[in-house]
Amino acid sequence: MNRIPALWAVAYGSRTPRLRRFLARRTVHLAAFIRTLALTDHHPFTSL
């Protein structure tokens, strides 16, 4: 997973309000999903 330092601290910090933590976690997961999607485009698909 991508670790965006500022976002990671907000998403998993204990002193952050719940709504902000939730939104930061969603953003971290979205960034990881987009990264995975981009990487799958670079792997060739082979079929027999």
**How high is the pLDDT of residue 44?**
65
pLDDT digits (tens, 9 = 90+) for 4-23: 778 888 888 888 899 999 99
pLDDT 10s digits, 17-45: 999 999 999 998 998 888 888 877 776 66
Distance in angstroms between the alpha carbons of the first and the last residue of the chain: 31
CA distance 10 to 19: 11
SS3 content of the chain, % helix, strand, coil (to 5): 65, 0, 35
Other Cβ atoms closer than 10 A to 29:
13
pLDDT at residue 2, rounded to an integer: 57
Q: What is the pLDDT of residue 17?
A: 92
